[in-house]
Amino acid sequence: MEPNRETLAITVDKSHLITIGEKLYTQSIELIRELVNNAYDADASVVEVEITEDRIVIKDNGSGMDLKGLKQYFNIGSPEKKYHPKSPKFKRDRIGQFGIGKFATLSACGSFTVSTQSRDFAAEVVFDKEEWGESEDNWHLPMTTLSYEASRGDGTTITLSKLTKKFNIEDVEERLIEGVPIRDKDFAVYLNGKRVMSRELPGRRFPVIEGTPYGPIHGEIVILPSAQTTTSEPLGIECKVKQVTVKREYFGMDTWGRDMARVRGLIYADFLPVTTDRSGFIVDSEEYKAFYGAMLKVMEDVKAYL
């Protein structure tokens, strides 16, 4: 007797998408960083972030999205940026990878609106958490096609409304300084009208240029004057991948005592594999082991100077 073969459909509960997003972005503040980095990937030169008590607006002058782009945007885990790692206009190394960020955003607000226009196309998509969750079978989002406004130019505006969490402006600014490519000469970020700028530290500078089998390491280490030493700022060396700080590493400095507080640094290593939420490195990878070993040698010279 021939076996009776059937197929089983694989389904995902809608609530799981938001739950996954919440776990990937344990701090709501990371969602703002993610949306600003999406603008960077879209070749924006200016991003304006406005935070009030009841909403957050992130507006950019990037390439915007046509209908195909919008569908791609809401495609969970889309490989688009993997297959096209460089942006068309500025040839930037694109930061985003996984496409789960917009679902994670609903952990901090009740409604997520995307308004975009590109060339002759303009549309608005409203992602309302409550309405979307009422019908388990309907996976479509309401989209309204709008008239193209040439005076506005191409770009995308993300609006988070019905906020369920509070955002401290100082904390957001600090995360943007570390988490987005504000050092890029063609990229400016404004937070409530004020441009977000990187901080320049005084002190003895050590340029870092090291090679590994997987790619170059470059940047600089700064030794602060004793009078400038403070423990109120985050300690350690900022390690960046694609201009975004992934983590601060000590490279053995945690055994240096008070000298550790005098050392700051900014190191770029674009070849390093990162965790899904970009809050850490894949530490058991060969790339990270090579990176860490090279940085230990750099820090030996820094310690000798101290």
Residues 66 and 183 in one domain: yes
Q: What is the pLDDT of residue 99?
A: 61
DSSP string, 114-152: EEEEETTEEEEEEEEHHHHHH-SS-----EEE----TTT
Last residue within a domain, chosen from 195, 225, 248: 195
**Ordered alpha helix ranges (H), the chain:** 14-24, 29-41, 67-73, 80-83, 101-105, 129-134, 169-179, 286-305
Residue 7 forms part of a structural domain: no
Q: What is the pLDDT of residue 98?
A: 57
Residue 224: HSE in the Cβ half-sphere, 13 Å Cα cutoff? 19
Residues 6+ apart with CB under 8 A from 304: none
pLDDT per 10-residue tile (average), the chain, 306 residues? 70 69 66 90 96 95 94 76 84 76 76 93 91 77 90 93 91 89 93 90 88 95 80 82 90 90 92 86 96 95 89
SS3 state at 296: helix
Contact 196, 177 (CB under 8 A): yes
Residues 89 and 148 in one domain: yes
Residues 166 and 219 in one domain: no
Residue 73 forms part of a structural domain: yes
Q: What is the pLDDT of residue 204?
A: 87
Residues 89 and 111 in one domain: yes
pTM over 0.75: yes
Residues 51 and 105 in one domain: yes
Residues 190 and 209 in one domain: no
Residues 34 and 138 in one domain: yes
Residue 232 forms part of a structural domain: yes
Contact 230, 264 (CB under 8 A): no
Residue 147 forms part of a structural domain: yes
Tally of domains within the chain: 2
What backbone torsions phi and psi does residue 195 show, to the nearest 5 degrees? -70, 135
Residue 105 forms part of a structural domain: yes
List the CATH number of the domain containing 181: 3.30.565.10
Q: Which of 165, 77, 151, 62 is nearest to 114 (CA)?
A: 62
Residues 184 and 38 in one domain: yes
Last residue within a domain, chosen from 174, 195, 216: 195
Residues 273 and 149 in one domain: no
- Nearest-angstrom CA–CA distance, 143 and 126: 7
Q: What is the pLDDT of residue 108?
A: 84
Q: What is the pLDDT of residue 277?
A: 72
28 by Cβ neighbours in 10 Å (0-12 / 13-18 / 19+) ranks as: buried
Residue 210 forms part of a structural domain: yes
Instruction: Show the domain range for 141.
Output: 14-195
Strands of 155-163's sheet in order across: 143-145, 121-128, 109-118, 155-163, 55-60, 46-51, 188-191, 194-195
Residue 107 forms part of a structural domain: yes
DSSP 8-state code for residue 83: H
Residues 145 and 172 in one domain: yes
Residues 169 and 223 in one domain: no
95's tokens: 């930061």
Residue whose entry in the numeric block shows the structure tokens 């990229």: 187
Residue type, 166: K
Bridge partner residues of 157 (DSSP): 59, 115
278's tokens: 């970009």
Last residue within a domain, chosen from 172, 195, 218: 195
Residues 186 and 223 in one domain: no
Residue 152 forms part of a structural domain: yes
